[in-house]
Amino acid sequence: MKTPEKVNGLELIGTCVGCEIRQWDKFMKGTTKADGRQIKKLIKKHLPELYDDLALNLYNPYESQSQKKKGLLVYVHSMIEYFIRYY
């Protein structure tokens, strides 16, 4: 599965900071490497507040650690995983 290029919407469902290990395991189970640049483009379009809050117009060295699976994108910024549902 490729990183989705077009989605109808995104919803931030949480981060690893406020997540228990069991929930983190559930989110991460079955994920594969994703194109962080593509996820950033989707965030800019569908979650502009998050894009601005994270200053995603600047370089993010952790972006390459992003993951994906059906229905879920995991964008990594400052070693924090952002769990984003897409539809």
pLDDT, one tens digit per residue, over 33-79 is 999 999 999 999 999 999 999 999 999 999 999 999 999 999 999 99
Closest of 21, 1, 2, 10 to residue 51, by C-alpha: 10
Measured CA to CA, the distance from residue 49 to residue 67 in angstroms comes to 21
> Looking at the domain assignment, is residue 30 inside a domain?
yes
> Looking at the domain assignment, is residue 47 inside a domain?
yes
User: With contact defined as beta carbons under 8 Å apart, do 63 and 75 qualify?
Assistant: yes
Q: What is the pLDDT of residue 62?
A: 97
Confidence of residue 31 (pLDDT cuts 50, 70, 90): very high
> Looking at the domain assignment, is residue 2 inside a domain?
no
> Looking at the domain assignment, is residue 4 inside a domain?
no
Which domain covers residue 24, as residue numbers? Answer: 10-86
- Mean pLDDT for the stretch of residues 8-36: 97
pLDDT at 1 over 90: no
Confidence of residue 18 (pLDDT cuts 50, 70, 90): confident
- Decide the pairing of beta strands 32-33 and 10-15: unpaired
How many domains does the chain contain in total?
1
